[in-house]
Amino acid sequence: MSKILFIDNVGRTLLGEQVNKTETTVSVKNPVYIHVGQTAQGQLSVQLMPLFLLEMVDLTARQEGIIVEYNILNINPITTKIDSKLENQYNGMFGAMLQTSEPTSEPKIVKLFD
- pLDDT tens track for 23-42: 999 999 999 999 999 989 99
For residue 34, which amino acid is it?
I
For domain 2-98, which architecture applies? Roll (2.30)
**Confidence grade of residue 53 (pLDDT, cut at 50, 70, 90):** confident
Q: Which helix H or strand E contains 107, and what residues bound it? A: none
Contacts of residue 94, defined as CB under 8 A and 6 or more positions apart, other chains included, come to: 30, 54, 65
Show the CA angle centred on residue 43, arms to residues 49 and 48, nearest 5°.
10
**Confidence grade of residue 57 (pLDDT, cut at 50, 70, 90):** confident
